[in-house]
Amino acid sequence: MTDSPRRVAVIGPTASGKSSVAMAAAEACGDVELISVDSMQVYRGMDIGTAKPTSAERTRVPHHLLDLVDPTGEFSVTEFQSAYRRAIADIAERGRRAILVGGTGLYHRAVIDELEMPGEWPEVRHRLAAEVEALGPELLHARLAEIDPVAADRMEPTNTRRIVRALEVCEGSGHPFSSFGPGLAAYPPSPVTQIGLRWDRTVLAERIARRVHQMMAAGLLDEVRGLAVGGLSKTAAQALGYKELLAHLAGETSLDQAVELICVRTRQFAVRQLRWFQRDPRIRWIDVEHDPVVEAVPIVLDALG
């Protein structure tokens, strides 16, 4: 991508302080805009549970790739790539710089490495989605392991969305999903400088629990209740916090059980995020001890140049 603005990515697991670091760095510069790299912040109305920037924060610093689609719809990595390219072109045209911030690993790699994304076969995808409902993701993951072991090895056996997508491409294209582009196993030079935030696992777990309870106090249950009236797409309904509270509203769990389950699953998600990002040798890691803003912002500013 030619004539692109200077870009730095602040990455890491959920609740690690990425957004606070990115906001502080952007405000310190004055000519920096933020690009959300989060697969759930693209959904309108899913604000509290995705820790979406507030309207006040968006007034102070321009944000991109938020609220792109209604929660009743689906949104693909390919669509995200296109939206990202438009945002980068807009930022570059105005002579400004960008900080990417978010923890969705696949979306992050898709934009910083401009991954070649295979085509789409909706009929195949819909059939596979029905099979997942009937058989469970583990059985389809086993099927993927037979036809594309490389792809299967790169994803969790419970990651329904990725398993269906990989099988869709295998069936639709007649080629292994892992054969498209250099794939996720390659880490080529990138114009985006990556800075990662890490915490002691016990401390991060405490931060996650504190954030979940703050979200509940901020009205997450009411947000989910309102969204449930209009319905959510399969992808949106799987978002952490929303899935568990939808189950509570359906009478499947108590509220206390739902909140505890959000904490547990968010901790598990944070471990997977860290595992994903730590494969990338290009990332400069900061092991945060006390305050991510104090400890990381000077490094981000130095990277911005």
pLDDT for res 276: 93
Q: What is the pLDDT of residue 292?
A: 97
Residue 222: pLDDT over 80: yes
- Residue 3 — pLDDT band, cuts 50, 70, 90? low
Distance CA 89, CA 250 (A): 44
Residues pairing with 101 in the sheet: 10, 36
Taking only the tens place, the pLDDT of each residue in 57-105 is: 999 999 999 999 999 999 989 899 999 999 999 999 999 999 999 989 9
Polymer length in residues for the chain: 305
Which pLDDT value is given to residue 1? Answer: 42
Residue 115's pLDDT band (boundaries 50, 70, 90)? confident
Q: What does residue 218 show for φ and ψ, rounded to 5 degrees?
A: -80, -5
- Kindly tell me if the per-residue pLDDT of 235 is higher than 50: yes
Percent of the chain with pLDDT over 70: 98
Higher pLDDT, 261 or 114: 261
Residue 272 pLDDT: 93
Mean pLDDT of 261-270: 97
DSSP of 224-260: HHHHHHH---TTGGGSTTHHHHHHHHTTSS-HHHHHH
pLDDT of residue 180: 77
Q: Please compute the mean of the pLDDT values over residues 261-290 and round it to a whole number.
A: 96
Average of per-residue pLDDT across 120-129: 92
Both tokens of 2, joined, read 């030619």
Q: What are the tokens at 95?
A: 């002579």
Q: Which residue has the tokens 């092991």?
A: 287
**120/264 Cα distance (integer angstroms):** 34
Per-residue pLDDT at 261: 98
Confidence at residue 119, expressed as pLDDT on a 0 to 100 scale: 83
Q: Is pLDDT above 90 for 128?
A: yes
Mean pLDDT of all residues in the chain? Answer: 94
pLDDT at 2 over 50: no
The pLDDT value recorded for residue 183 is: 67
Please provide the DSSP assignment of the chain as one string. Answer: -TTPPPEEEEE-STTSSHHHHHHHHHHHHSSEEEEE--TTTTBTT--TTTTPPPHHHHHHS-EES-S-B-TTS---HHHHHHHHHHHHHHHHHTT-EEEEE---HHHHHHHHTTPPPP---HHHHHHHHHHHHHH-HHHHHHHHHHH-HHHHHTS-TT-HHHHHHHHHHHHHHSS-GGGSSS-TT-----SEEEEEEE--HHHHHHHHHHHHHHHHHTTHHHHHHHHHHH---TTGGGSTTHHHHHHHHTTSS-HHHHHHHHHHHHHHHHHHHHHHHTT-TTPEEEE-SS-HHHHHHHHHHHHH-
Please compute Rg for the chain using Cα positions.
19
Of 40, 44, 68, 66, the C-alpha closest to 234 is 40
Domains and CATH numbers, the chain: 7-116+192-200+276-304 (3.40.50.300), 122-179 (1.10.20.140), 201-272 (1.10.287.890)
- Has residue 139 got a pLDDT over 90? yes
Please give the model's pTM, rounded to 2 decimal places: 0.84
What was the pLDDT predicted at 181?
63
Q: Could you tell me what percent of the chain has a pLDDT over 90?
A: 86
Q: How far apart are CA 199 and CA 181, in angstroms?
A: 33
